[in-house]
Amino acid sequence: MSIQAPPTLLDVVLQILLRNEALTFSFLEYLPKELFPPLFKKAFTSKQTNILRAVVQAWPFPCLPLGSLMKTPDLEILQAVLDGVDMLIAQKEKPRRCKLQVLELLNKHRNFWNIWVGTTKGNCYPRVISKTPTVEDRAVPGGKKQPLKVLVDFCLKCPDLDEYQKYFFQWAEQRKSLLQLCCQKLQIWEKPVCSVLRLLKSLEPGYIQELEVSTLWRLRSLPLTLFTPDTEYMRNRSRTNEGVELIECMYTALEERIVTTVISQLPKFSSLQHLCLKEVHFFKVSLDQVLRSLRSSLETLAITHCHLSQSDLNCLSKYPSIYQLKHLNLSGSKIFHLCARPLKVLLERVSATLQTLELDDCRMEDSQIKALLPALSQCSQLTKVNFYGNYISTSVLKNLLQHTASLSQLSLELYPAPFECYDVMGGFLVERFTQLGPELMDTLWAVRKPKIVCFASNVCLKCYERCVYIQDVCLCSCWQ
Ligand SMILES: *[C@@H]1O[C@H](CO)[C@@H](O)[C@H](O)[C@H]1NC(C)=O
Ligand SMILES: *[C@@H]1O[C@H](CO)[C@@H](O)[C@H](O)[C@H]1NC(C)=O
């Protein structure tokens, strides 16, 4: 039988504080700084909104990372904290004790509070605690109070907002002039309602680090302030969009104009590292224009489910901005009708950096795969390759496997079942596959000791699964 440890002094103090709200309010001024995080956390857990409201107004640290504490959005708690912020804003002078400058609603740093209040060991997220406000931080010219910075991530999945988001948006919109609202990650999946658009206009673009727009609606209805320097605080062009590291665009052929808009803005994103283009049909704008306008060196280039022409493919070997790629994804962009030479040249260029290569469903054939092999064998940093969905014969597939002899970092390798496993109508020949699987695996083991290797059929059109050979054959649902 285990004996329960006696409560620590801290526990006792917190209990007293939580039980006597009036006492807590009168003591907040004198409470040691170290007690604030555990008190806030306890009040949060027990939903003591009065205490939360008061603690916010006396918060002795520059940052309050509320988002890290809130695993699921809780409207009541948000309301209490924002009420506290309101009271703080309403005061002419910031209370002596209060150092609050940044309210973080980002849901990252999951374990942060446990570490902060000492229930878990680990490195504390240093910015929150160590940042001592400088004189400039506290005062702006004219003696005005520095606006409170509010950091958020937005993921707008439906046109309307959920209750929590709605409350926050309304709150933020009414206090626009008193806050500095910074959005680090903005994902827009659906056309947002007008009120959201209005609010997005007030976001400070320099702080948008990731922008993901995957919508079928017109980009033109997105506030252009996100892209162009046409608001007051964005006069400095070179700073605009400086922080954006990821752009993800997904468009249909009909929305050519939108693609043109985004691409025309690309030169402004000076620290872009990841560019993902999905279902973009290069007609008026070419891939060449896209790559030519890059101002930074990319880590990720994904051109997936796109219609590529030979001239699009050709430019892959022309621009040094993609010579340091770590991740190349051309999945779903069919290139069976094109000459693969430019892709080979690109592989040569990126051989020292490339870690993942995804060519799923590119429908490449023997001659194209053969063209890539010498270059592929030099990509010694590769950890993942995906060749599913290409039309390769057994002999060329074996050749491909042999060319991976020096790729010792590979931990995941996905190869297609060779085309001998299909009949003339495209039907999958399971017996043939069962026989070839071990043979292919042996070919690989003869050159290297692989980690995870799969050979797989195309996706079955009935059950959307694949027949896979790993150590044994695992059939799709239709065959079982
Ligand atoms: C614009 O921003 C850049 C980069 O931060 C800076 O070097 C430059 O001095 C700024 N220019 C003006 C006019 O503020
Ligand atoms: C590559 O692109 C495909 C198709 O868009 C996607 O399903 C896959 O997750 C991408 N791979 C990576 C590593 O992002």
What distance lies between CA 339 and its chain's CA centroid?
33
Atom of ligand 1 nearest to the CA of 236: 1
Nearest ligand to residue 303 Cα: 2
DSSP string covering 434-446: HHHHHHHHHHHHH
Nearest ligand to residue 248 Cα: 2
Nearest ligand to residue 238 Cα: 1
Torsion of CA 118, 123, 125, 130, to 10 degrees: 80
Spatial contact of 271 and 297, defined as CB atoms under 8 Å apart = no
Minimum mean pLDDT among 13-27, 196-210, 262-276, 455-469: which range? 196-210
Span 429-465, pLDDT tens digits:
999 999 999 999 999 999 999 999 999 999 988 888 8
Spatial contact of 290 and 264, defined as CB atoms under 8 Å apart = no
Tracing tokens 């912020």 back to the chain, one arrives at 85
Q: Which two tokens stand for residue 360?
A: 């799923």
Span 129-175, pLDDT tens digits:
444 433 334 433 344 567 888 888 877 766 667 788 888 888 887 88
- CB-ligand 1 contact for 45 (6 Å cutoff): no
Helix segments in 202-353, DSSP class H: 256-265, 287-292, 310-314, 341-349
pTM: 0.58
Distances in whole angstroms, Cα of residue 169 to Cα of each of 102, 149, 156: 17, 15, 12
* Cα gap 61→28, rounded to integer Å: 14
- CB-ligand 1 contact for 239 (6 Å cutoff): yes
Note the pLDDT of residue 421: 96
Count other Cβ atoms within 10 Å, centred on residue 4.
5
- Short-list 340, 327, 442, 417, CA closest to 379: 327
CA 220-288-190 angle, to 5 degrees, is: 25
Q: Would you place residue 54 in the very low, low, confident or very high pLDDT band (cuts 50, 70, 90)?
A: very high
Strand partners, 329: 302, 358
Asked whether residue 342 carries a pLDDT value surpassing 90, the answer given is yes
Note the pLDDT of residue 245: 52
DSSP string covering 54-74: HHHHH--SSEE-HHHH-SS--
For residues 285 and 192, the model is more confident at: 285
Spatial contact of 90 and 60, defined as CB atoms under 8 Å apart = no
Strand partners, 303: 277
* Cα gap 433→390, rounded to integer Å: 16
Asked whether residue 300 carries a pLDDT value surpassing 80, the answer given is yes
The residue whose CA has the least distance to atom 10 of ligand 1 is: 236
Distances in whole angstroms, Cα of residue 137 to Cα of each of 101, 129, 239, 247: 8, 15, 20, 31
Note the pLDDT of residue 233: 26
Spatial contact of 254 and 261, defined as CB atoms under 8 Å apart = no
The residue whose CA has the least distance to atom 11 of ligand 1 is: 236
Minimum mean pLDDT among 85-94, 266-275, 358-367: which range? 266-275
**Cα of 100 to ligand 1 centre, how many Å?**
28
Count other Cβ atoms within 10 Å, centred on residue 45.
10
* Cα gap 374→400, rounded to integer Å: 9
Note the pLDDT of residue 240: 36
Distances in whole angstroms, Cα of residue 287 to Cα of each of 254, 263, 352, 421, 474: 17, 10, 24, 35, 39
Spatial contact of 278 and 302, defined as CB atoms under 8 Å apart = yes
Instruction: Average the pLDDT over 210-237 and give the result.
Output: 40
**Cα of 332 to ligand 2 centre, how many Å?**
9
- CB-ligand 1 contact for 238 (6 Å cutoff): yes
Atom of ligand 2 nearest to the CA of 332: 4
Best probe residue, ligand 2, of 277, 331, 386 (max atoms within 8 Å of C-beta): 331
The residue whose CA has the least distance to atom 6 of ligand 2 is: 331
Spatial contact of 336 and 309, defined as CB atoms under 8 Å apart = no
Spatial contact of 259 and 303, defined as CB atoms under 8 Å apart = no
Instruction: Average the pLDDT over 265-272 and give the result.
Output: 72
Instruction: Average the pLDDT over 343-367 and give the result.
Output: 97
Nearest ligand to residue 355 Cα: 2
**Cα of 224 to ligand 2 centre, how many Å?**
28
* Cα gap 9→325, rounded to integer Å: 55
Span 362-388, pLDDT tens digits:
999 999 999 999 999 999 999 999 999
Query: Which secondary-structure segment (H or E) carries 78?
Result: helix 75-90
